[in-house]
C-alpha cells in the first residue's frame, strides 16, 4: 500500500484518538484554540478501538475529549462536501454540550464545548483564511454573549491551493503550530522525520510521522480506508466535470442554480464510480453523505446490479 494519508478519518483517529498518542491530540487542540482554552491534559471520551470499529464500521470517527478543567472538545476530519455541513457541525456541538448533564442536574454544571472541524474542501466563502472561529455575538456591537459555544473550521484546501507541492514552497507557509499540523495533514509525503528543516523540527511532528509510517490496518480497516481512497481518486475530476456541466445547464436558470445542479451531478457520478468498483454500500453512504435509500436509487436508476 502507498503511504497512508492522515486525511482519511480512520487513519486520523488511529493517530490522534488513542491513549498512547494523547500528547499529539493535546498539541493539535492547543494549536487551534485560544490561550485561555489551552489544554494541560485531557480524557478521551471515545478512544479508537479496533474491536469497536469491526462491529460498527460506519460509526462517525470523530474524537471527543474532556480537558481537566471540564471543557469538552469534538474533533472531526471530513473529506466530503456534504449538504448542510454547517448544520451538522452545529448539531454535533449541541450533542457535545448537552450530553454533559444527566437528568435533573443543574445547568450551572455545563462547561464550554468546542467543535473543531478539519475540512478537505472549501466551506467558508468570502475569506482566504483557512482557520475561522465562530461564536454567538450581538449583531451591532459585536458583543460576545454566549461564551460556551465555539466552532472552528480548518479548511485544508485553502492552505495548499497556492503551491506547497515541494518542500520549499511549504516552508514559506509555516508560521504557527497549526501551520505545522496542517502541513502534516496535507503534505506529509514531503516530510522526512530524519531530516526536517528547522521550522518543522518539532518532536510532536516527528512522532506523528513515525506513527503514520508504522501504522497497520486490520482487514476491515484496510477495506474501509481503501474504499475512501477510491473516492479520493475520482473526486477531483468527476466533481469538476459535473460542476462544469451543471453550470452550463443552469445558465438559463442563473449561476447559483447551475452550480447546485453541478454539485448534485458530482455526487451522483461519485456514487456510480464507487459502485462500479464494488465498494460497500454503507461506505458509499459515508463518503457521499447520502442515505442508503438515496444511494440505492441512484444505482438502480443507472441499472447497476445491487447487493445488500
pLDDT tens for the chain, 308 residues: list them: 567 899 988 899 999 999 999 999 999 999 999 999 999 999 999 998 887 776 665 555 789 999 999 999 999 998 777 667 888 899 999 999 999 998 888 999 999 999 999 998 888 888 999 999 999 999 999 998 889 999 999 999 999 886 677 899 999 999 999 999 999 999 999 999 999 999 999 999 999 999 999 998 888 888 888 877 776 666 555 555 555 555 555 554 455 545 555 556 667 777 887 787 777 787 777 777 788 888 888 888 875 444 44
Domain ranges of the chain: 9-213, 219-301
Pick from 68, 8, 75: which is nearest to 47 by CA? 75
- Give the H or E element holding residue 160: helix 156-160
Give Cα 187 distance to the centre of its chain: 16
State how far the Cα of 281 lies from the Cα of 61, in Å rounded to an integer: 18
Q: What is the CB-side half-sphere exposure of residue 38 using CA atoms within 13 A? A: 5
Pick from 176, 184, 259: which is nearest to 21 by CA? 184
DSSP string computed for 32-94: HS-GGG--S-EEESS---HHHHHH-TTS---EEEEETTS-EEEEEEE-S--TTHHHHHHHHHH
Q: Tell me, what's the pLDDT at 304?
A: 46
Pick from 110, 112, 114: which is nearest to 29 by CA? 114
Q: Do 85 and 121 contact (CB within 8 A), yes or no?
A: no
pTM (2 d.p.) = 0.78
Q: Do 235 and 267 contact (CB within 8 A), yes or no?
A: no
Radius of gyration of the chain (CA): 20
Sign of the four-CA dihedral 258, 261, 267, 272: negative
Q: Do 76 and 8 contact (CB within 8 A), yes or no?
A: no
Q: Tell me, what's the pLDDT at 260?
A: 55
Q: Tell me, what's the pLDDT at 102?
A: 87
Bridge pairing between strands 42-44 and 63-67: antiparallel
Q: Tell me, what's the pLDDT at 60?
A: 59
Classify 198 as helix, strand or coil. Answer: helix
Q: Tell me, what's the pLDDT at 274?
A: 77
Q: Tell me, what's the pLDDT at 158?
A: 93
Q: Do 215 and 12 contact (CB within 8 A), yes or no?
A: no
Pick from 302, 282, 304: which is nearest to 293 by CA? 282
Q: Tell me, what's the pLDDT at 275?
A: 80
Amino acid at each position: 500500500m502507498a503511504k497512508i494519508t492522515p486525511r482519511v478519518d480512520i487513519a486520523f483517529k488511529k493517530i490522534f484518538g488513542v491513549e498512547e498518542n494523547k500528547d499529539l491530540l493535546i498539541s493539535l487542540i492547543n494549536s487551534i484554540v485560544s490561550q485561555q482554552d489551552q489544554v494541560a491534559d485531557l480524557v478521551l471520551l471515545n478512544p479508537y478501538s479496533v474491536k469497536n470499529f469491526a462491529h460498527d464500521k460506519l460509526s462517525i470517527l470523530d474524537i471527543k475529549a474532556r480537558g481537566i478543567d471540564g471543557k469538552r472538545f469534538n474533533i472531526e476530519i471530513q473529506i466530503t462536501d456534504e449538504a448542510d455541513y454547517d448544520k451538522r457541525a452545529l448539531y454535533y456541538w449541541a450533542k457535545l454540550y448537552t450530553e454533559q448533564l444527566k437528568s435533573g442536574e443543574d445547568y450551572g454544571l455545563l462547561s464550554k464545548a468546542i467543535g473543531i472541524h478539519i475540512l478537505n474542501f472549501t466551506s467558508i466563502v468570502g475569506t482566504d483564511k483557512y482557520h475561522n472561529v465562530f461564536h454567538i455575538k450581538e449583531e451591532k456591537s459585536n458583543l460576545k454573549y454566549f461564551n460556551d459555544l465555539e466552532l472552528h473550521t480548518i479548511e485544508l484546501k485553502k492552505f495548499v491551493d497556492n503551491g506547497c507541492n515541494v518542500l520549499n514552497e511549504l516552508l514559506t507557509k509555516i508560521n504557527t503550530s497549526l501551520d505545522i499540523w496542517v502541513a502534516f495533514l496535507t503534505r506529509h509525503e514531503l516530510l522526512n522525520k530524519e531530516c526536517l528543516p528547522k521550522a518543522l523540527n518539532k518532536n510532536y511532528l516527528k512522532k506523528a510521522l513515525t506513527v503514520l509510517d508504522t501504522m497497520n490496518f486490520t482487514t476491515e480497516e484496510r477495506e474501509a480506508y481503501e474504499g475512501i481512497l477510491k473516492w479520493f481518486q475520482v473526486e477531483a475530476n468527476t466533481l469538476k466535470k459535473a460542476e462544469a456541466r451543471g453550470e452550463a445547464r443552469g445558465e438559463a436558470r442563473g449561476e447559483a442554480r447551475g452550480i447546485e445542479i453541478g454539485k448534485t451531478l458530482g455526487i451522483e457520478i461519485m456514487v456510480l464510480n464507487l459502485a462500479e468498483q464494488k465498494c460497500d454500500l454503507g461506505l458509499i453512504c459515508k463518503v457521499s453523505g447520502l442515505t442508503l435509500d438515496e444511494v440505492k436509487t441512484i444505482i438502480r436508476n443507472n441499472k447497476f446490479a445491487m447487493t445488500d
